Amino acid sequence: MTMLDDRTTAAAWPAAYPEGYAVVDVETTGLARDDRIVSAAVYRLDAQGNVEDHWYTLVNPERDPGPVWIHGLTGDMLADAPLFPDVAAELSERLDGRVLVAHNAIFDWGMIAREYARAERTAPVRQRLCTIALAKELALPLPNLKLESLAAHFGVVQRRAHNALDDARVLAEAFRPSLHAAAEQGVRLPLLECRPLTEWVSSPATGAGTARIGRQSSYGNSWRPTKKRPACPYPNPGRYEADKPLKQGMRVAFSGDTSIDRELLEDRTVEAGLHVASSVSRLTSLLVTNDPDSATSKTVKAKTYGTPIVDEAAYTHLLRDVAPADG
């Protein structure tokens, strides 16, 4: 069987696949929930991944631009850029009715959703697709899960890494053959629900906003106490094993910042039949962290005990298909 190409007819394309995609990249002032977007780019693709058009904008973050050495955008360059509310309608036009595609999509979606919430609008996005998760579904032989590795695998040349427009172009060019490979192999696309922010609570002291995604609250805020969760009803089946699904009853610990709100991530963990562990012990099945090289007590203990460690993107992918507990 050969790779599906431009001659692929609509009739041969999987009917269950989405009708269009918005490949997105945003550059930001940082990685925290109160950080802001400084630039955004969108490539609109049709159902088979062909480019329809692209769009790019700078955004005035109304604060220090953050890691200029990464994104290259100084305060002077952003001073006359539009504010996010000024570009929200144009961005909505490009996202509406399409699956948001990004590399580590949970981060880009979270940043976009919070910007919409600050502007008292709702992002018109219902589903997202992470190209990291898709690469894993396709078992691509990548040395790591960085965008540059995905690009190199498909022969896509990066010109300006961490430039939103070029990163979105690179991802669009790498996504198309990934999409065709998935269609050829009959792979179900790893689509996840996007839960738009429904509230934005302003702090009277700082004017800063606190976002809620669906029924979540911002992790660690004093206005809502830590949720007391019921005991997991399933026995602990032991440690997570690479290339196998999570199993109900596994004990999962989290360490460090997460792109998605921590409480929502823990809610999804509990809903899947897993146990949220507040610390790492010999009984911990898995540690989720975006910084496995940090010297936090949890990562140090995990390495001491040989506890498996995965990043947030990999974990949210694993959450899609948790195996039932042993009967």
CA distance 71 to 242: 34
Q: Please, are residues 113 and 211 in contact by the beta-carbon 8 Å criterion?
A: yes
* Residue 163 pLDDT class (50, 70, 90 cuts): very high
Which of the residue ranges 11-15, 121-125, 181-185, 201-205 would you say has the lowest mean pLDDT? 201-205
Q: Give the single-character DSSP code of 94.
A: H
CA distance 99 to 96: 9
Q: Look at residue 74 and give its three-state secondary structure.
A: coil
Q: Look at residue 170 and give its three-state secondary structure.
A: helix
* Residue 327 pLDDT class (50, 70, 90 cuts): low
Above pLDDT 90, what percent of the chain?
59
Q: Give the single-character DSSP code of 323.
A: B
pLDDT of residue 283: 95
* Residue 93 pLDDT class (50, 70, 90 cuts): very high
Question: Looking at per-residue confidence, does 222 or 299 come out higher?
Answer: 299
pLDDT of residue 230: 77
Strand partners, 144: none
Strand bridging mode 51-58 / 37-46: antiparallel
Which of the residue ranges 147-156, 211-220, 273-282 would you say has the lowest mean pLDDT? 211-220
